């Protein structure tokens, strides 16, 4: 009897908000003080941008069950829209252009989400490729988007909020962190709301969802719009805060796959999963190049690195699908439970 009850009470129940709040306090209070510029430029900024894109795609693919292979197109749309709003609308604050860029990405998302009203599964996944190719083509073809720059590569505007410049690595980091935090919080609220439940119902069984009265078409388009909004803003962070240039080539099909891999590895239908996945995707190439250089020395040139990265990444995807279909999140939760249990029983 005591054994059973101690089993149940063995895991101390912390309020859900404690961990995120502690993490945020660390990210705002401690990281800017101790981080090197390499940490910000090479790890934290791409991590934040990709995490946010992962959160966006997870809403569409993880929660609403619509597989998209065109995420990078929405990132590109967001980045270029923000650039143009910032350039062409006098006196629009930076936050304003970022918000409008999200709206533009959402509108494009709705247009390319229209096929989802009739298509399912692979047919839909293939049709989202249309977004990928069309957007990339349009951005390279019409030089208006890049303000007639000869190379198609343009410098992102300086980040500043009400006159306060955020040019340094730490400034850009805090800027990205704030946007990611706000949008992630909203995304979390969304998926735990009625709308979020509707997404899941459509993912699990569309016909059943329709029968219990969920407006399937509207909900699907909403999922496309919200997801594209978030991914578009992630594109702005990627271009403005991380790369500080805006170019269509960085938003190619490989980037779309990368974001899809982030949510597979991190865990589908999990907001935390996007962060886990993005952390792995950002850190693993750096780790691999260090390890390869250490083991093979000069043999390990950039070509070999590139190829072995592809191989290891592909193998990781397959391993996760086979061994841990719920992603790093499930792995983490299991480890945490074990540790807590071990700690409790001592």
Partner 1 sequence: MIADFDYQFFIEVLVGGLLSGVMYSLVAIGFVLIYKTSGVLNFAQGAMLLFAALTFVSLVERGIPFALALVVTFAIMVAMGVAIERTVLRPLTNKPPITLFMATLGLSYIIEGAAQLIWGTQVHGLDLGIEDVPLEIGGVLISQFDIFAAVVAAGMVLLLSLFFRYTRIGLSFRAVADDQFAALAVGLRLPLIWATVWAAAGLVALVAGLLWGARLGVQFSLSLVVLKALPVLVLGGFDSILGAIVGGLLIGASEKLAEVYIGDYFGGGIESWFAYVVALVFLLIRPSGLFGQRLVERI
Could you list the residues that contact partner 1 (CB under 8 A)?
A: 67, 115, 118-123, 125-127, 129-130, 133-134, 136-137, 141-142, 205, 207-208, 211, 253, 257, 260, 264, 303-304, 307-311, 313-318, 321-322, 325
DSSP for 204-220, written as a single string: H-HHHHHHTT--HHHHH
| Burial category of 281 from C-beta neighbours within 10 Å (exposed 0-12, middle 13-18, buried 19 and up) | buried
Of the pair 98, 268, the CB lying nearest partner 1 is at: 268
Tell me the closest approach of the beta carbon of residue 211 to partner 1, in angstroms: 7
- The DSSP H or E segment spanning 160 is strand 160-161
Is the Cβ of residue 32 or residue 115 nearer to partner 1 in the bound state?
A: 115
Closest distance between partner 1 and the C-beta of residue 240, in Å? 27
Q: Which is nearer to partner 1, 73 or 278 (CB)?
A: 73
Q: How far apart are CA 70 and CA 336, in angstroms?
A: 35
Least Å distance, CB 265 to partner 1, is: 10
> Cβ closer to partner 1: 123 or 185?
123
Closest CB to partner 1 among residues 103, 316: 316
Compute CA distances 35 → 9, 30, 44, 217, whole Å: 39, 8, 10, 46
> What does the alpha-carbon distance between residue 215 and residue 197 come to, in Å, rounded to a whole number?
12
Tokens 């198609």 map to which residue?
152
Q: What DSSP letter does each residue of 285-321 carry, written as one string?
A: HHHHHHHHHHHHGGG--HHHHHHHHHHHHHHHHHHHH
Q: How far is the CB of 132 from partner 1 (least distance, A)?
A: 9
| Least distance (Å) between residue 131 CB and partner 1 | 9
């Amino acid at each position: 009897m005591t054994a059973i009850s101690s089993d149940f009470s063995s895991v101390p129940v912390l309020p859900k908000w404690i961990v995120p709040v502690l993490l945020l306090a660390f990210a705002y209070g401690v990281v800017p003080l101790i981080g090197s510029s390499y940490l910000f430029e090479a790890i934290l900024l791409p991590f934040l941008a990709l995490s946010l894109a992962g959160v966006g795609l997870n809403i569409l693919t993880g929660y609403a069950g619509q597989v998209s292979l065109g995420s990078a197109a929405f990132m590109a749309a967001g980045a270029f829209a923000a650039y143009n709003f910032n350039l062409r609308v006098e006196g629009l604050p930076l936050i304003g252009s970022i918000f409008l860029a999200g709206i533009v990405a959402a509108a494009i998302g709705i247009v390319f989400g229209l096929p989802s009203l009739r298509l399912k599964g692979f047919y839909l996944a293939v049709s989202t490729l249309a977004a990928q190719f069309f957007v990339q083509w349009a951005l390279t073809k019409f030089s208006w988007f890049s303000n007639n720059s000869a190379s198609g590569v343009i410098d992102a505007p300086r980040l500043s909020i009400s006159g306060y410049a955020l040019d340094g690595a730490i400034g850009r980091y805090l800027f990205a962190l704030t946007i990611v935090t706000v949008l992630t919080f909203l995304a979390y609220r969304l998926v735990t709301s009625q709308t979020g439940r509707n997404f899941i119902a459509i993912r699990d069984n569309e016909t059943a969802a329709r029968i219990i009265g969920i407006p399937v078409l509207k909900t699907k388009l909403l999922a496309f719009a919200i997801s594209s909004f978030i991914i578009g803003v992630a594109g702005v962070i990627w271009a403005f805060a991380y790369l500080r240039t805006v170019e269509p080539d960085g938003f190619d099909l490989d980037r779309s796959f990368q974001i899809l891999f982030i949510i597979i590895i991190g865990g589908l239908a999990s907001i935390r999963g996007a962060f886990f996945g993005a952390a792995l995707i950002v850190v693993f190439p750096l780790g691999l190049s260090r390890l390869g250089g250490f083991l093979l020395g000069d043999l390990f040139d950039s070509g070999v690195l590139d190829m072995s990265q592809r191989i290891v990444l592909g193998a990781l995807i397959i391993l996760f699908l086979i061994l841990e279909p719920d992603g790093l999140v499930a792995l983490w939760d299991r480890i945490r439970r074990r540790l807590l249990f071990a700690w409790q029983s001592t």
